Homo-oligomer: A and B are copies of this chain.
Amino acid sequence: MGYLCLLLMYPPSGKETTMSRLKTIVWADDCARIIDQTQLPNELVYIEIETAESMYDAIKTLKVRGAPAIGIAAAFGLYLGVRTCPDTDSTEQFLHNVRVTADYLASSRPTAVNLFWALNRMKMTAESLKHESAGVIKKALLAEAKAILEEDIRMCRKIGEYGYAVLKDYTTILTHCNAGGLATGEYGTALAPIYVGKELGKEFKVFADETRPLLQGARITAFELMAAGVDVTLICDNMAATVMKSGKIDAVIVGADRIASNGDTANKIGTYGLALVAKAHNVPFYVAAPFTTFDLSIATGKEIPIEERDAQEIINGFGKPTAPETVKVFNPAFDVTPHELITGIVTERGVIYPPFGQNIKVILS
């Protein structure tokens, strides 16, 4: 991968730059170009990704993150992994390479279901063309990855519209982690209603949890909301309860990495505690996610595997050690919020309310 562009955009200027111009991932010059989100908010660095291995690394190390964006990235990664196969390969050999590459990319992160969904869709595209040549399938795979990106942007816009209808009478919204434009192709999921509101002249005030350990809220949510001219206040995760108690929060909205059949929702670590705190203060708690986030193969959140990440993220994440080097650390990247704590799930087809087990099936069918 090559570093395409190094642009110091710090602090972001709300007037001149709007987030709709920042593209999480694009296909250009025959490669996938992504924003390296590990460099935010200090530098806006674009990386050109030309191989499946580079894409695996970008997903694994969170250069690209957010469940929908991971799916899009993996789709392009699959194409990148097989495009160098000779067009003269047998279709059987080519399809074998597709499956091997998909399995490899699927192992980059275990929790977000969009990753597996996107890779499956790419595999099915390939399999459906099993009577065609390797060259034809290759072209179809690139087209499919582009379609996944375009559909994601349209889905997020719809989520924004349905979410805005739910949130429009509120003023102050709290969010956790980043489920914004930079977690998707554009618009985001949890932040999409904020952006749709902005277009319609509604000025929400957003409180952003910084989201330890990797500070996606501080680095990415605060960055993209400021860039879009949205009023944002940064807090530490452990301050949400006291802000709610003071009556400052009208509603919470977060993204999701995987939603079980009963509505149990895996999302960034800290979401579950936040949902408990919202419940205690009678603050409505919304999840925003496209349908690709639902996993109807599992009944409840208990079946969702939770990724545990390296201790160094907690004890040495910011340039200097912040804990004894040899301390034992527990670092789960996600938690599961039971459906009982969720007010509604905002999707591109409308808002799902309890009973989730029943209503998810209805809206998905």
Contacts and interface: CB of A to CB of B under 8 A. Distances in A.
Interface in A145-160: none
Instruction: Give the bracket for the number of chain A residues in contact with chain B.
Output: 35 or more
B212 A323 contact: no
A318 B318 contact: yes
Q: How many copies does the complex hold?
A: 2
Nearest to A280: B276
Interface majority SS (helix, strand, loop, mixed), chain A: mixed
A234 B332 CA distance: 12
Interface stretch (A68-76, A85-93, A107-115, A267-275): A267-275
A324 B212 contact: no
Contact of A273 (B213, B238, B318): B238
B318 A240 contact: no
Given A314-B218, A322-B219, A323-B219, A212 B240 contact: no
A232 B269 CA distance: 20
Contacts of A274: 238
Interface of A: 10-12, 41-42, 207, 209-213, 215, 218-219, 222-223, 226, 231-243, 245, 269-270, 272-274, 276-277, 279-280, 314-315, 317-332, 335-336
5 contacts: A232-B327, A236-B269, A237-B238, A242-B335, A276-B276
